[in-house]
Amino acid sequence: MPAPHEDVELDSMNDAAAEPLISNRRGFPNDARDHYDGDEEERRGQVDESAVLSPGLFIWSLTICAGISGLLFGYDTGVISSTLISVDTDLSSRLLTTVDKSLITSATAFFALLASPLTGVLADQYGRKTVILFADVLFVLGALWQAWTTSVGGMIAGRSIVGAAVGSASFVVPLYISELSPSPFRGRLVVVSTLFITAGQVVAYSIGWLFSERMHGWRWMVGLGALPAAIQFVMLLFLPETPRYLIKAGRTQQARMVLGRVYKTGEGGQELVNAVLRRVEKEIEEEEDAAGLRATPGIAKSGWRAKVGRVQDNFAQLVVVGGNRRALNIACMLQGFQQLCGFNSLMYFSATIFRLVGFESPTLTSLSIAITNFLFTLVAFHYIDRIGRRRILLWSVPIMVIGLILCAIAFRFLDLPEDEAASTTSVVASNKTWPLVILISMITYVAGYAIGMGNVPWQQSELFPLSVRSLGSAVSTATNWGSNTFIGITFLPMMNVFTPVGTFALYAGVCVVAWITIWRIYPETAGLGLEDVGGLLRDGYGVEDSLRKFNERRRGRGL
C-alpha cells in the first residue's frame, strides 16, 4: 500500500481556504487508508463500490425530489395536445389557425433547444442544484403565464418560458442524479427520472381528457404545472449539491459530508468516501494536466473574464480531446436517434392518427400509448444495471423495428382518403382488423422504445469526464431537442408526401441504422465508476474491453 501523506488535515479544512486539488488528494487520514479494502482497485485507479447493497433513503429522497422535474417535463410536453383542442376561441377571440398551433407546439421544443447549452454553462459555474431551482422558477412563471394569457402571442410566450425550463431540467436532472448515485445503481436511478417523464405524460393525457369538455378547462390544465414546481423548489432548498461539483468548486469538506451520507449504507462506508474523493480529485488533476491547465478551485468566485475563458476552454476540450469527442459522438448519436426514430410523433399526433383510422375515442386510445410508455419504462428500471445499457438497446431496438414494419403493412391495407394526413375526416373502415393491427403494432413499438431508446440516452452524463460533463450533457440534450423539433415539424408533411406506409417504414430504417451504430460504437458503462468511463474512451470506443469488464463485474456480483 502506498504511504499516505498527512500534510492536510481535512476535518479542519474550511471550504474557502481549500488547498489546490493536487494536495487535497493526498490529505487523507492514515486510518481511513489503512482500512480501505479496495487497495488493488485504487492502484488501478478504480473504486470498488460493490459493498453498497442498496441506494439508501438519502439517495432515494434526492432522486425522487429531482425527478419531479421529469414529471413537469412530461406533463408540459404532453398537455399541449389536449390544450390545443379545447382552447376554442379563448385566445385572441378567434379559432386557432394551423400556424398558431404549430407555433404554440414547437415553441417549447425550440426554447428547450436554446436553453440546454446555456444552462449547461451555468451548471458548471453555479452548480447543478442552482439550475434545477432556476428551472422551477421558469416552470411556475410559464404555467401561470399560460393560464392567464388571453392572446395567441401570450400563449406562445408562455410555452417558450416552459420550453426553457424543460430544456434546463432535462439535462441537469439526470446529471444531478448520476453524480450522486453509487455506481451499481446509477443506471436505474437515472431511469427514475424517465419514469417521472412518462408518468407526467400519462397525467397530462388523463387531465386533458378530464378537463377538455369544461369551459376554460385548458387554463387549469396548463396552470396546474406550477404546483409540483413550487413544491420541488421548497424541497430542494434542503438538499445538497452533488459531491462531484463540490469537489470541482474546491468545497471538498462539503463534498465529504455529502459522500458520507451517500455511502453510509453498506460496509466500509467511510473508506469508500475517501476512495471516491481521491478518485474524483485525481481525475480533475489528470484532466487539467492533459489540457495544460492548472486551475485553482473556487471557479464560481473568479471574475467574468476568467469564466468566459473557462467556458471557451471547456468547449475546446470537449471537441479536441479524443475521449471527450468520442463521448460526445455517442451521447449525441443516442439522443438524436431517440427522437429521429419518430416516437414523439405518436406522442403529439397519436389522437390524429387514431381518428384517421377510425377509432371512436381517439384521445382515450392515445392514452394507451402513454400508459405503455410508462409501464415499459419500469422494465428498463428493473434491468438496466443488470443487463447493461448496450444490451438493453440491442435487444429492444429490433422490437421497435417489428412494430414499425407491422404498422406500415397495416396502413398498406387500409383504405384512407386521398389527402389522408391533412384530412380530419376519419376512415369508415370496412374491416376493423387493420385499425386494431395498427394499435397493436404501435403498442409493440412503444414498448420497445420505452425499454431502451426512451431512457438509455439520458444516461449520457456518465460518458463525460467531470471537466466537460455538464457541457457535454447539455450539448447532447440540445441534439435531443433539435431532433424533437424536426420530427414535430416534419411528421404531418411526411404522412402526406410519403404516405403513412412510407413514413413508418422510414422510421423503421432509422431504427436499423441506430442499431448498427450502437453495436459499433456504444461501450457498456453499467456498474463503472463515473471516473472510470473516461479510461474506456481514451483510445477508441472500447466496446470489447467494456464488455469483458462488464461480464467480470456481473460475475463478481453473482448476477
Instruction: Name the nearest CA neighbour of 380 among 457, 282, 267, 307.
Output: 457
As measured in angstroms, the least distance from the Cβ of 101 to ligand INS is 19
List residues near ligand INS by CB under 6 A.
194, 197-198, 201, 338, 344, 347, 373, 454-455, 458, 484
As measured in angstroms, the least distance from the Cβ of 453 to ligand INS is 8
Say which residues have a Cβ less than 8 Å from residue 321's Cβ, sequence separation at least 6.
290, 291, 468
By beta-carbon proximity to ligand INS, the closer residue of 347 and 387 is 347
By beta-carbon proximity to ligand INS, the closer residue of 201 and 470 is 201
DSSP-assigned states of every residue in 334-397: HHHHHHHT-HHHHHHHHHHHHHHTT-S-HHHHHHHHHHHHHHHHHHHHHHHHHH-HHHHHHHHH
By beta-carbon proximity to ligand INS, the closer residue of 327 and 370 is 370
Say which residues have a Cβ less than 8 Å from residue 160's Cβ, sequence separation at least 6.
107, 108, 110, 111, 142
Rounded to 10°, the helix 466-497/322-340 angle is 30
By beta-carbon proximity to ligand INS, the closer residue of 149 and 377 is 377
As measured in angstroms, the least distance from the Cβ of 196 to ligand INS is 10
Q: For the CA atoms of 300, 306, 311, 317, what is the dihedral angle to 10 degrees?
A: -110
By beta-carbon proximity to ligand INS, the closer residue of 375 and 409 is 375
Instruction: Compute the 3-state secondary structure of the chain and give helix, strand, coil in percent, each to the nearest 5.
Output: 75, 0, 25
As measured in angstroms, the least distance from the Cβ of 57 to ligand INS is 26
By beta-carbon proximity to ligand INS, the closer residue of 435 and 457 is 457
Instruction: Name the nearest CA neighbour of 173 among 418, 470, 379, 432.
Output: 470
By beta-carbon proximity to ligand INS, the closer residue of 345 and 470 is 345
In this structure, what C-alpha cell is assigned to residue 23? 494536495
As measured in angstroms, the least distance from the Cβ of 341 to ligand INS is 10
As measured in angstroms, the least distance from the Cβ of 478 to ligand INS is 13
Question: What is the amino acid identity at position 42?
Answer: E
As measured in angstroms, the least distance from the Cβ of 81 to ligand INS is 12
CA 15/CA 309 separation, integer angstroms: 24
CA 83/CA 85 separation, integer angstroms: 6
As measured in angstroms, the least distance from the Cβ of 346 to ligand INS is 9
The residue number with the shortest CB distance to ligand INS is 454
In this structure, what C-alpha cell is assigned to residue 488? 414535430
Question: What is the amino acid identity at position 126?
Answer: Y
By beta-carbon proximity to ligand INS, the closer residue of 58 and 348 is 348
CA 177/CA 138 separation, integer angstroms: 21
As measured in angstroms, the least distance from the Cβ of 91 to ligand INS is 25
As measured in angstroms, the least distance from the Cβ of 30 to ligand INS is 46
By beta-carbon proximity to ligand INS, the closer residue of 73 and 211 is 73
As measured in angstroms, the least distance from the Cβ of 428 to ligand INS is 31
By beta-carbon proximity to ligand INS, the closer residue of 336 and 465 is 336
As measured in angstroms, the least distance from the Cβ of 338 to ligand INS is 6
Say which residues have a Cβ less than 8 Å from residue 68's Cβ, sequence separation at least 6.
196, 228, 229, 231, 232, 235
As measured in angstroms, the least distance from the Cβ of 306 to ligand INS is 35
By beta-carbon proximity to ligand INS, the closer residue of 197 and 318 is 197
By beta-carbon proximity to ligand INS, the closer residue of 201 and 467 is 201
Using only C-alpha atoms, what is the Rg of the chain?
Answer: 24
**Is the C-alpha dihedral spanning 90, 91, 95, 101 positive or negative?**
negative
By beta-carbon proximity to ligand INS, the closer residue of 121 and 197 is 197
Q: Are 50 and 556 in contact, with CB atoms under 8 Å apart?
A: yes
In this structure, what C-alpha cell is assigned to residue 80? 399541449
Say which residues have a Cβ less than 8 Å from residue 503's Cβ, sequence separation at least 6.
342, 491, 494, 495
Residue 439 CA, chain-centre distance (Å), reads: 27
CA 435/CA 443 separation, integer angstroms: 12
